[in-house]
Amino acid sequence: MISIKKKDKVIVKTGKDKGKTGEVLKVFPVKNKVIISKINFIKRHTRPTQTEPGGIVEKEAPLNMSNIQLVCPKCNQPTRVQRDKLSDGKKIRICKKCGEMIV
Protein backbone atom coordinates (compact mmCIF):
# COMPACT_ATOMS: atom_id res chain seq x y z
CA MET A 1 0.00 0.00 0.00
CA ILE A 2 1.41 3.37 -1.03
CA SER A 3 1.43 6.03 1.68
CA ILE A 4 2.94 8.83 -0.44
CA LYS A 5 0.85 10.91 -2.81
CA LYS A 6 1.37 13.80 -5.21
CA LYS A 7 2.06 17.19 -3.52
CA ASP A 8 3.26 15.53 -0.27
CA LYS A 9 6.36 16.96 1.41
CA VAL A 10 9.07 14.30 1.80
CA ILE A 11 12.65 14.05 3.06
CA VAL A 12 15.40 12.00 1.39
CA LYS A 13 16.89 9.43 3.78
CA THR A 14 19.78 8.02 1.68
CA GLY A 15 21.95 8.86 -1.31
CA LYS A 16 23.64 11.98 -2.62
CA ASP A 17 20.67 14.21 -1.66
CA LYS A 18 20.36 12.88 1.90
CA GLY A 19 18.60 15.33 4.24
CA LYS A 20 16.99 17.43 1.49
CA THR A 21 13.25 17.99 1.44
CA GLY A 22 10.96 18.54 -1.52
CA GLU A 23 7.48 18.14 -2.92
CA VAL A 24 6.40 15.01 -4.78
CA LEU A 25 5.69 15.83 -8.44
CA LYS A 26 4.80 12.38 -9.76
CA VAL A 27 4.27 8.89 -8.33
CA PHE A 28 4.94 5.62 -10.18
CA PRO A 29 3.22 2.99 -7.98
CA VAL A 30 4.02 0.01 -10.23
CA LYS A 31 7.75 0.83 -10.28
CA ASN A 32 7.69 1.96 -6.61
CA LYS A 33 9.35 5.28 -7.52
CA VAL A 34 8.63 9.01 -7.16
CA ILE A 35 9.89 12.23 -8.72
CA ILE A 36 10.62 15.01 -6.22
CA SER A 37 11.05 18.69 -7.09
CA LYS A 38 14.67 19.92 -7.18
CA ILE A 39 16.10 16.56 -6.00
CA ASN A 40 18.13 13.88 -7.82
CA PHE A 41 19.08 15.98 -10.84
CA ILE A 42 20.55 14.20 -13.87
CA LYS A 43 21.95 15.56 -17.14
CA ARG A 44 20.49 14.42 -20.46
CA HIS A 45 22.02 15.17 -23.84
CA THR A 46 19.17 15.97 -26.23
CA ARG A 47 18.99 16.46 -29.97
CA PRO A 48 17.44 19.60 -31.36
CA THR A 49 13.81 19.32 -32.44
CA GLN A 50 11.52 21.73 -34.27
CA THR A 51 10.28 23.18 -30.99
CA GLU A 52 13.32 22.96 -28.68
CA PRO A 53 17.05 23.48 -29.15
CA GLY A 54 19.41 20.64 -28.34
CA GLY A 55 22.00 20.58 -25.61
CA ILE A 56 22.49 19.34 -22.09
CA VAL A 57 19.25 19.40 -20.10
CA GLU A 58 19.09 18.95 -16.32
CA LYS A 59 15.97 17.27 -14.96
CA GLU A 60 14.76 15.29 -11.96
CA ALA A 61 15.12 11.51 -12.04
CA PRO A 62 12.91 9.07 -10.13
CA LEU A 63 13.88 7.96 -6.61
CA ASN A 64 12.87 4.71 -4.95
CA MET A 65 10.14 5.07 -2.32
CA SER A 66 12.27 3.18 0.20
CA ASN A 67 14.75 6.09 0.19
CA ILE A 68 12.26 8.79 1.20
CA GLN A 69 10.02 9.49 4.18
CA LEU A 70 6.87 11.56 4.51
CA VAL A 71 7.07 14.84 6.48
CA CYS A 72 3.96 15.62 8.57
CA PRO A 73 2.54 19.06 7.65
CA LYS A 74 1.40 19.68 11.27
CA CYS A 75 4.46 18.71 13.35
CA ASN A 76 7.01 19.15 10.50
CA GLN A 77 8.78 15.87 11.44
CA PRO A 78 9.58 12.83 9.26
CA THR A 79 7.00 10.22 10.17
CA ARG A 80 5.51 6.87 9.31
CA VAL A 81 1.89 6.69 8.23
CA GLN A 82 -0.94 4.94 10.02
CA ARG A 83 -4.06 4.09 8.01
CA ASP A 84 -7.58 4.39 9.38
CA LYS A 85 -11.19 4.59 8.20
CA LEU A 86 -13.72 7.27 9.06
CA SER A 87 -17.29 6.44 10.00
CA ASP A 88 -18.43 7.13 6.42
CA GLY A 89 -15.90 4.56 5.09
CA LYS A 90 -13.36 7.06 3.73
CA LYS A 91 -9.71 6.03 4.17
CA ILE A 92 -7.35 8.55 5.80
CA ARG A 93 -3.65 8.80 6.67
CA ILE A 94 -2.58 9.63 10.23
CA CYS A 95 0.82 10.86 11.49
CA LYS A 96 2.37 8.33 13.91
CA LYS A 97 4.16 11.10 15.88
CA CYS A 98 1.46 13.72 16.50
CA GLY A 99 -1.70 11.75 15.65
CA GLU A 100 -3.02 14.39 13.24
CA MET A 101 -4.75 13.55 9.97
CA ILE A 102 -2.59 14.04 6.84
CA VAL A 103 -4.57 15.58 4.01
**Angle, vertex CA 13, rays to CA 9 and CA 15, nearest 5:** 120
Q: Which of 57, 102, 60 is nearest to 78 (CA)?
A: 102
Residues 52-62 pLDDT 10s: 999 999 999 99
Q: Give this prediction's pTM.
A: 0.88
Let me know how many helices (H) and strands (E) the chain has, helices first.
0, 10
Rounded to whole angstroms, the Cα distance separating 94 from 13 reads: 21
3, β-bridge pairs: none
pLDDT in tens, 26-80: 999 999 999 999 999 999 999 999 999 999 999 999 999 999 999 999 999 999 9
Nearest to 1 by CA among 37, 41, 32: 32
Model confidence band, residue 7 (pLDDT cutoffs 50, 70, 90): very high
